[in-house]
Amino acid sequence: MIQFELFQQKRKRLESKFSNVESFSLFTFSEKESIEETLTKFSTLTNEKISKKIQSIISNGNNNIYHFTLSNDKIVFIYKVGERKKLHSDTFRRAATNLIREINKLKIGNTLILPVELSDEEINCYFKTHEYYLQTYLEGFKLGDYKYDEYLSKNEKTQVVTMVYYPEVSDEKLLDVFNFTEVLMKYVYFARDLQNKPSNELTPKRFTEIVKGQASKNKSVKVKILDFNEIKRLKMGGLTAVGKGSDNPPYFLILEYNGNPKSKDINVLIGKGITFDSGGISLKPASGMWEMKGDMSGAAAVVSTLLAASELKLKTNLVALAPLAENMPSGKSMKPGDIIRTASGKSIEIDNTDAEGRLILADAIEYAKRYNPKIVVDLATLTGACVVALGQYAAGLFTRSDELAEMLTKAGNVTSERVWRLPLWDDYHALIKSNFADVKNVGGRWAGAITAACFLEKFVDESYKWAHLDIAGPAFQEDNIPYMSKTMTGYGVRLLIEFLKNSF
């Protein structure tokens, strides 16, 4: 566990405050001058000299962590983050993740962070503000400290207190950054926990219970849960068709947060909530199927975002919709060739039962209309095709609105939960034509991510701005970004909070 604590010392000499600092985390660029500047700054501040003898170098790709012990047993880490010209918005988030893992290994109880000094241009370009720059370190520590150990009999809890020495930001503002990051990361953890929970434990019903339990701690969030009877009564044919094949019935979860009562503008977030996707009758191959417990990542992201927004008291009116179902093969499952009708009244020919996410989203998009929304954004682990196109480094973004595309792209760049726009041209709609129904649920071999987006667009109204994010890549664990390794990622929460912060 990480706890942020104020280091109340803005004077030029820190020595008198050292007694309770166990370690120092220095960050620096890999150029020789930068390293020397950092060491000089450290010596001036602390009146300590770092011996020439390096205890160990922890190598991490292009980055190196140098590890020293001072004569008074305090530990110093010097983290070389690479060349200055290669700086980007995620540099320190990633570095902090690697460092906290070393700190945990060495069982160090607290550390004082000395961030790299950046120019105003660098701050502006990559972080916008000094506060956000600091936030990236704190996020990195939290992201790197995350463990999914709910089912381990022996789960070791370590506690690290982190303090920051950064006189450019006042204590008051630093406390704001601490508080903001604390809440934000609490809900990134909440999303990750939901994603990582196995599907035998996280059925659609259990998902609603967990979210309701969390929401009940915050009076400004309203929760509505529609059960299978209600879903059928509302003629949600997509959610019914997918959910009826499983012994665990589908649910439809609605969260509302009215953070700006003076405004009539409502933003609706929709998340795909397939708690397990076997593919249904169009069964998936066995290899890697376990990851499909995370096919509810969109739902986890949108409910976590709404809960975070309410706790952060963001001035926005938000609705989160999560259609929840398990896609299983059984005697009651939908079959290829079936024709169903969604709440919109439009008919769909099922060509492949593994393209189920779009069916439940179609019903949610229809439900969103009753809020007369200004913006609708849906997040879904929708297609493998999107991962083929972009890898795990970005979500596919689909929208007709250049303004919405720009806002989401900017939020993606600063949070490093990146999005990349793909086309949504009318031509692609020809690929999902059906001979027997209004639309078919899959296209042919090509452009699978785009035809999935075109399918959703069939159910969208022109009265609001709509964007679809295919998060099948970045939602799942990967090895290339340190804080995304070993567990599901919670992708979307930091992105959407940043997006919402800038959209009112």
The minimum distance between CB 478 and Zn ion, in angstroms, equals 20
How far is Cα 119 from Cα 424, in angstroms, rounded to an integer?
40
CB 351 within 8 A of CB 338: no
Is 224 labeled as catalytic in the residue annotation? no
Exposed, middle or buried by CB within 10 Å (0-12, 13-18, 19+), for 301?
buried
Q: Which CB, 290 or 504, lies closer to Zn ion? A: 290
DSSP 116: P
The minimum distance between CB 356 and Zn ion, in angstroms, equals 5
Pairing relationship of beta strands 273-277 and 317-327 according to DSSP bridges:
parallel
CB 448 within 8 A of CB 385: yes
- The span of 51-59, 66-74, 271-279, 490-498 binding Zn ion (CB under 5 A) equals 271-279
CB 496 within 8 A of CB 305: yes
Q: Which CB, 90 or 295, lies closer to Zn ion? A: 295
Q: Which CB, 361 or 368, lies closer to Zn ion? A: 361
Per CB under 5 A, contacts with Zn ion among 165-184 are none
Residue in 358, 418, 440, 465 annotated catalytic = 358
Query: 462 Cβ partners below 8 Å, 6+ apart?
Result: none
Q: Which CB, 357 or 373, lies closer to Zn ion? A: 357
How far is Cα 65 from Cα 26, in angstroms, rounded to an integer?
10
CB 181 within 8 A of CB 223: no
Q: Which CB, 116 or 380, lies closer to Zn ion? A: 380
Residue in 212, 284, 346, 501 annotated catalytic = 284
Pairing relationship of beta strands 251-258 and 221-226 according to DSSP bridges:
antiparallel
The minimum distance between CB 252 and Zn ion, in angstroms, equals 18
Q: Write out the two tokens for 138.
A: 């704190």
Q: Write out the two tokens for 55.
A: 């205890």
The minimum distance between CB 228 and Zn ion, in angstroms, equals 20
- Which amino acid would we find at residue 485? S
- The span of 25-33, 73-81, 356-364, 481-489 binding Zn ion (CB under 5 A) equals 356-364
The minimum distance between CB 225 and Zn ion, in angstroms, equals 24
Per CB under 5 A, contacts with Zn ion among 184-223 are none
How far is Cα 335 from Cα 81, in angstroms, rounded to an integer?
53
- The span of 79-87, 273-281, 342-350, 445-453 binding Zn ion (CB under 5 A) equals 273-281
Q: Write out the two tokens for 427.
A: 């031509």
Is 101 labeled as catalytic in the residue annotation? no
3-state secondary structure (DSSP) of residue 451: helix
- The span of 96-104, 260-268, 353-361, 432-440 binding Zn ion (CB under 5 A) equals 353-361
| Binding residue count for Zn ion, defined by CB under 5 A | 3
- Considering only 48, 102, 193, 277, the residue that binds Zn ion (CB under 5 A) is 277
Q: Does 349 bind Zn ion (CB under 5 A)?
A: no
The minimum distance between CB 157 and Zn ion, in angstroms, equals 36
Torsion of CA 356, 358, 362, 367, to 10 degrees: 90
- Considering only 354, 363, 470, 498, the residue that binds Zn ion (CB under 5 A) is 354
Exposed, middle or buried by CB within 10 Å (0-12, 13-18, 19+), for 261?
exposed
The minimum distance between CB 424 and Zn ion, in angstroms, equals 21
Q: Which CB, 282 or 392, lies closer to Zn ion? A: 282
Torsion of CA 382, 460, 256, 340, to 10 degrees: -70
Residue in the shown chain whose Cβ atom is closest to Zn ion? 354
Q: Which CB, 214 or 353, lies closer to Zn ion? A: 353
3-state secondary structure (DSSP) of residue 248: coil
Per CB under 5 A, contacts with Zn ion among 465-494 are none
- The span of 7-15, 131-139, 153-161, 346-354 binding Zn ion (CB under 5 A) equals 346-354
- The span of 200-208, 313-321, 355-363, 399-407 binding Zn ion (CB under 5 A) equals 355-363
The minimum distance between CB 355 and Zn ion, in angstroms, equals 6
How far is Cα 311 from Cα 238, in angstroms, rounded to an integer?
33
Per CB under 5 A, contacts with Zn ion among 416-475 are none
Q: Which CB, 279 or 482, lies closer to Zn ion? A: 279
- CA nearest 416: which of 489, 487, 364, 344? 489
Catalytically active residues are 284, 358
Question: Which residues bind to Zn ion, rule: CB under 5 A?
Answer: 277, 354, 356
